[in-house]
Structure 1
Amino acid sequence: MAKIVIFGVNDLAELAHYYLTTDSEHQVVAFTVHQEYKTTDTFKGLPLIDFETINKIYPSTDYRLFAPMIGTKMNRLREKIYNEGKSKGYDFISYISSKATLFDNQIGDNCFILENNTIQPFTTIGNNVILWSGNHIGHHSIIKDHVFFTSHVVMSGHCVIESYCVIGVNATLRDGITIAEGSFIAMAASITKNTEEWGFYKGNPAVKSDRSTRDM
């Protein structure tokens, strides 16, 4: 069990608080945001403190962080908070639902893996990854850092998901493909071949649009 400070006061922070308090042995003791976004001193009945001075009240020697943020700017905002926490000396926990199915998979820190995800054998997951509910994560695959899967994605075996990717609801990824860094896979897209870096893909079969994800 660890004492946890959750970053954020949005829906994901509220969900993280619920999951951690009902489906983990961790103890949530506070929330934190940057001072400019702080409009109150409490959230969910717990202290809300400035991220800039978090070490003064909740030192990294005794507390751990969790930052379950959405995929804003292709997960780069969540990466920024993750790196800031690391620079302050904090370790991050991961939350993995007791209702997810795993097979001794290697999973990094600050991951948020919700119910009904099936992660098949010999698949590894990096740091700062969100798998929303109900995804199929195929065998012998690699999901790298700072990735966001929405819900009901089917990822076949032997796939590689590079960093900074967002995979939309009901997307399908065929076996053996690589989703290149910064790819955005739209809702219900069917990916049948490797993508290109920072590309936006939609349709069935999916095609690359003229839109770049670098500015998203």
Structure 2
Amino acid sequence: MAKVIIFGNTRTAELALYYLQNDSEHEVVAFTVEQDYIQEPTFHGLPLVPFETLEQIYSPSEFKFFAPLTEKNMNRVRARVYEQGLEKGYSYISYISSHATVLTDKIGDNCFILEDNTIQPYVTIGNDVVLWSGNHIGHHGTIGDHVFFTSHVVLSGGCQVGNYCFIGVNATIRDQSVLGEGTLIAMGANLTRQKTDPWSIWKGNPAEKAAISSKDIKI
């Protein structure tokens, strides 16, 4: 069990609180965001403290950190907060739902893995990865850092997912595919291509490459 500080004061932070309180041994003691986003001193009855001075209030030697942020700016906002937490000296927890089927122990820190995910044997998952509910992660796959899977995604066996990728609801990715860094697979897309370019967008069935970069959109 760890005493945990959650980054955020939005619905995602609220969900993290619910899951940790109801499906883990961890104790949530506080929330934190940047000073400019604090309007009230508490969130869900717990202290809401400035991230800028967090380590002065909650020592990294006594408390752990959890930053399950959204996919904003192709996961780069979450990645920034993750790196800043490390710089402050914090170690991270991961939350893995007891209602997920997880057949690997190769899962990094600051991961948020919700109910009904199926993660098959020999899968490796990096740091700062979000798997929303109901995904299938096929055997011998590799997922990099700062990746976001929405819901009901099928990632077939042997795939490689680069850092900062985003996979939309109900997308299907064929076996042995290699997704370049920052690839965005749109909702309902059926990716049959073996390899995608970095920071590309793929949509449709079969999926085709969009003319713009995933760096140029706001999600």
Which category describes the TM-score, using the shorter chain as reference length? over 0.9
- Measured on the aligned residues, the alpha-carbon RMSD in Å equals 0.6
Query: How does 1:162-181 map onto structure 2 within 5 Å?
Result: 162-181=162-181
Query: How does 1:1-216 map onto structure 2 within 5 Å?
Result: 1-193=1-193, 194-216=195-217
1:105, distance to aligned residue in structure 2 (A): 2.8
1:78, distance to aligned residue in structure 2 (A): 0.1
Distance 2:54 2:185 in 1: 36
- SS at 1:152 equivalent: coil
Q: Does the 8 A contact of 1:164 with 1:181 survive in 2?
A: yes
Cα deviation, 1:81-101, whole Å, max 9, x if unaligned, reads: 000000000001000000000
Cα deviation, 1:40-60, whole Å, max 9, x if unaligned, reads: 100000000000111111110
Aligned amino acid, residue 207 of structure 2: A
Distance 1:92 1:36 in 2: 24
**Unaligned segments of structure 1, at least 5 residues:** none
Cα deviation, 1:150-207, whole Å, max 9, x if unaligned, reads: 0000010000000010000000000001011111100000001111111111000000
TM-score by length of 1: 0.99
Aligned amino acid, residue 93 of structure 1: I
Q: Does the 8 A contact of 1:2 with 1:26 survive in 2?
A: yes
Distance 2:188 2:21 in 1: 33
Aligned amino acid, residue 195 of structure 1: T
Aligned residues: 216
Cα deviation, 1:10-66, whole Å, max 9, x if unaligned, reads: 110000000000000000000000001111100000000000111111110000110
Distance 2:46 2:179 in 1: 40
1:215, distance to aligned residue in structure 2 (A): 2.6
Aligned amino acid, residue 88 of structure 1: K
Q: Does the 8 A contact of 1:30 with 1:47 survive in 2?
A: yes
- SS at 2:208 equivalent: strand
**Unaligned segments of structure 2, at least 5 residues:** none
What is the aligned-residue identity percentage?
58
- SS at 1:210 equivalent: coil
- SS at 1:32 equivalent: strand
Q: Does the 8 A contact of 1:73 with 1:215 survive in 2?
A: no
- SS at 1:79 equivalent: helix
Q: Does the 8 A contact of 2:156 with 2:176 survive in 1?
A: yes
